[in-house]
Structure 1
Amino acid sequence: MTTKQVESFGVSWEQAYGYVQAVRHGDTIYVSGQLSHDGEHMVAPAPLDEDGRITYFGDMADQMTQTYANAKTLLARFGASLDDVVEEVIYVLDVDAGMAAAGPVRKAAYGTENPQVASTIIGVTRLALPPQLIEIKLIAKA
């Protein structure tokens, strides 16, 4: 029987929602949707109007960069890296801003002009936190 190994950051929303950030089962690591945070606070939060709607999507690259950094941290806890990622799904609130940021940020995160990972980008109407522009989930084989 294969045992599961789990990892978390200890952020408030893990307990509130009831989940872990990553699970290793056998040689597969499933990384929950990651977002741009520094342990408890959003990094580069999008500005909101008085009704809680995002007014500017220009911080997509900054959020994406921090999101990949958080994913790297989790993968390292399993002795893995982004080189072990086989699939990613990127959820964005604005597809145009997401596509503009994704090319350069992904290439920098993976350290290559042609990341060897299956990737899907999906436009959504809302993410978990109001100032959140992006969320990335990953599957890695290590």
Structure 2
Amino acid sequence: MSRTRQGQVESFGVPWEESYGYVQAIRRGDTIYLSGQVAHDGKELVAPAPVDDDGKVTDFGNMGEQLRQCYANAAHLLSRFGASLDDVVDEVIYVLDADAGDAAAGPVRKAAYGRPDPQVASTMIGTSRLAFPELLVEVKLVARV
């Protein structure tokens, strides 16, 4: 944990934080803003999607596993602020394939939030690319404590 004039900030220490120049989460007042969470374990990507020679995804089957890791990373970050996924009020899920995202998101989100009706505003957006070619999903969250 580190503190700045603006509030508490948290990072994982993954190489792309320094190369891109950002923190994973920052608290301002009673609000915690999480950068888009991707499927990594602090060292490498988790369940990377297979890609062809041009870097295009060839199979979206790892969407659920990647999404589970995104929520696990978010929960870990939130715990550093004394918060949890119960405090999340808004999320945006970016997916490479809307059909695969839609199929995975319901069950994974319900499990992550621990209820059949997660009490969070949620938006899913299809995009053509994420930070790394092997990523299928990224989740950005805002929590209030």
Q: Report the TM-score when normalising by structure 1.
A: 0.98
In structure 2, the partner of 1:20 is 23
Mapped pair 1:58 → 2:67: no
Structure 2: which amino acid aligns with 1:122? I
Q: What displacement does 1:3 show?
A: 3.9
Gaps of 5+ in 1: none
After TM superposition, the runs of 4+ consecutive aligned structure 1 residues lying more than 3 A away are: none
Query: How many angstroms does 1:40 deviate by?
Result: 1.7
Task: Please give the secondary structure, in 1, of the residue aligned with 2:26.
Answer: strand
Deviation at 1:70, TM superposition (A): 0.2
How many Å apart are 1:51 and its aligned residue? Answer: 1.1
The secondary structure found in structure 2 opposite 1:65 is helix
Find the counterpart in structure 2 of residue 11 from structure 1: 14
Residue in structure 2 matched with residue 128 of structure 1 by the alignment: 131
CA distance in 1, matches of 2:105, 2:22: 27
Q: Distance in 2 between matches of 1:74 and 1:7?
A: 7
The correspondence of residues 11-90 of structure 1 with structure 2, limited to 5 A, is 11-90=14-93
Q: Give the counterpart of 1:99 among 87, 99, 102.
A: 102
One-letter identity of the residue aligned with 1:71: A
Matched, 1:110 2:113: yes
Q: Which runs of 5+ in 2 are unaligned?
A: none
% identity of equivalent residues: 68
Separation in 2, partners of 1:49, 1:68? 27
> Secondary structure of 2:60's partner?
coil
- Given the two structures, how large is their TM-score scaled by the length of structure 2? 0.96
Q: Secondary structure at the match of 1:58?
A: coil
SS in 1 for 2:92: strand
Aligned equivalents of 2:80, 2:61: Cα separation in 1? 31
Where 2:66 maps in the other structure, the secondary structure is helix
Instruction: Count matched residues.
Output: 141
RMSD: 0.8
